[in-house]
């Protein structure tokens, strides 16, 4: 593995306050993740706990490029996007700990919720299925004469589904304001890229659909932001969809039950050096955005907020068993 570490870009479209907010949201995503991992090991978080570590720059940078009328269809490693879209920490903690009365009524702990008040819709577990839904959202808003960009996400594995193809073809033909972020984190469960697809880059497919496509470093928040901003502008100009493939690494197992022993240790060590949060902290200190002491204080406050949210939620009751039958239809 090469040990070279690329420098992060300093985007001219980013102002100081935005840099601070990128850092804030990435730290929130990281600390939420660490809190969920701990709760899982303590037997207090149930179901799948899907680590976002390594994906913070992609989820925060991309969601930050959208405007107040746009919509987000996040996937299972996009907690950063929920924060960018203003989702409340306590609300998320209650949902992820599957407590009664949460957004998913306690029936799920992985963010399969829609919250129209926050313009967040997702995620749909069936890989690929959310892309046509996001495309349909933009089609509906177009028919209503509104200008609304939808952004959704798919993994390298999920990109191999039929719905990916159908949705991107349809969106390209209709020139829909849709942005698809392909989070290429090298693995789909235990399958590496080499047995998933034969094209060089997943964004190469854009040419076949007749839309725009680009592959970028998904660990560089300002690069992700700047690239997505251009895609948003194209979408608003009626130039149709964009596929942005972000190259990242899934730094833990598929979910916390998976020891990911199939990932070579030198590969993980290489990506550890590319950690998007640590590198952006150093970048912000070097660019005098904030001092180390200010960043430490920001992180400490976030950790305290996580503790407070857990304290608030942890003793709440689970839903009654009947909840499992609500919204289930049968004769």
109 binds, among ligand TPP, Mg ion, none (CB under 5 to 8 A by kind): none
CB of residue 290 vs ligand TPP: minimum separation in angstroms? 30
- Choices 135-143, 186-194, 225-233, 303-311 (CB under 6 A): range interacting with ligand TPP: 186-194
Question: End-to-end distance of the chain based on CA atoms, in angstroms?
Answer: 58
Closest C-alpha to 27, from 62, 52, 64: 52
**188 part of the interface to ligand TPP, by CB under 6 A:** yes
**How distant is the alpha carbon of residue 71 from its chain centre?**
13
Residue nearest to ligand TPP (CB): 155
The CA-atom distances, in angstroms, between 78 and each of 29, 72, 85, 226 are: 8, 10, 11, 18
**205 part of the interface to ligand TPP, by CB under 6 A:** no
| Residue whose entry in the numeric block shows the structure tokens 């996040």 | 74
CB 228, CB 238: distance < 8 Å: no
Q: What share of the chain is helix, strand, coil (3-state, %, to 5)?
A: 45, 10, 40
Which residues of this chain interact with Mg ion, rule CB under 5 A? 155-156, 185, 188
Cα 173 to Cα 153: distance, rounded to the nearest angstrom: 20
CB 217, CB 249: distance < 8 Å: no
State yes or no: cis peptide before 123, omega within 30 of 0.
yes
CB 17, CB 222: distance < 8 Å: no
**185 part of the interface to ligand TPP, by CB under 6 A:** yes
158 binds, among Mg ion, ligand TPP, none (CB under 5 to 8 A by kind): ligand TPP
Of residues 28-67, those binding ligand TPP (CB under 6 A): none
**257 part of the interface to ligand TPP, by CB under 6 A:** no
| Residue whose entry in the numeric block shows the structure tokens 């405007």 | 67
Count the residues of the shown chain that bind ligand TPP, applying the rule CB under 6 A: 17
CB of residue 48 vs ligand TPP: minimum separation in angstroms? 9
**Which of 161, 174, 201, 282 touches ligand TPP (CB under 6 A)?**
161
**Which of 86, 146, 189, 190 touches ligand TPP (CB under 6 A)?**
189
Q: Which is nearer to ligand TPP, 105 or 254 (CB)?
A: 254
Per-residue contact flags (x/-) with ligand TPP for residues 131 to 160, judged by CB under 6 A: ------------------------xxxx--
Q: Which is nearer to Mg ion, 174 or 191 (CB)?
A: 191
DSSP annotation of 70 reads -
CB 221, CB 208: distance < 8 Å: no
**252 part of the interface to ligand TPP, by CB under 6 A:** no
Binding site for ligand TPP (CB under 6 A): 77, 125-128, 155-158, 161, 183, 185, 187-189, 250, 254
């Amino acid at each position: 593995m090469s040990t070279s570490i690329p420098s992060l870009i300093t985007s001219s479209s980013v102002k100081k306050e935005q840099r601070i907010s990128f850092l804030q949201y990435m730290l929130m995503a990281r600390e939420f993740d660490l809190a969920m991992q701990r709760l899982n090991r303590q037997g207090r978080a149930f179901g799948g706990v899907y680590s976002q570590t390594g994906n913070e720059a992609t989820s925060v940078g991309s969601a930050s490029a959208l405007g107040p009328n746009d919509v987000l269809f996040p996937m299972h490693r996009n907690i950063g996007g929920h924060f960018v879209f203003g989702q409340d920490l306590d609300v998320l903690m209650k949902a992820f700990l599957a407590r009664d009365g949460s957004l998913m009524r306690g029936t799920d702990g992985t963010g399969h919720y829609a919250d129209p008040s926050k313009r967040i819709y997702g995620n749909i577990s069936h890989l690929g299925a959310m892309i046509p839904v996001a495309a349909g959202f933009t089609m509906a808003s177009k028919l209503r004469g509104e200008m609304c960009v939808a952004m959704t996400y798919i993994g390298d594995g999920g990109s191999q589904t039929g719905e990916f193809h159908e949705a991107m073809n349809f969106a390209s033909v209709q020139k829909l304001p849709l942005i698809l972020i392909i989070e290429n984190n090298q693995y789909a469960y235990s399958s590496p890229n080499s047995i998933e697809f034969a094209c060089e880059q997943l964004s190469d497919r854009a040419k076949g659909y007749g839309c725009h496509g680009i592959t970028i470093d998904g660990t560089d928040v300002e690069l992700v932001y700047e690239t997505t901003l251009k895609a948003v502008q194209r979408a608003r100009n009626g130039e149709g969809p964009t596929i942005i493939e972000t190259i990242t690494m899934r730094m833990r197992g598929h979910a916390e039950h998976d020891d990911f022993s199939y990932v070579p240790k030198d590969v993980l060590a290489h990506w550890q050096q590319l950690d998007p949060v640590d590198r952006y902290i150093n970048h912000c200190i070097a660019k005098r955005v904030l001092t180390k002491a200010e960043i430490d204080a920001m992180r400490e406050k976030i950790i305290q907020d996580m503790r407070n949210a857990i304290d608030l939620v942890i003793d709440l009751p689970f839903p009654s068993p009947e909840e499992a039958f609500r919204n289930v239809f049968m004769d």
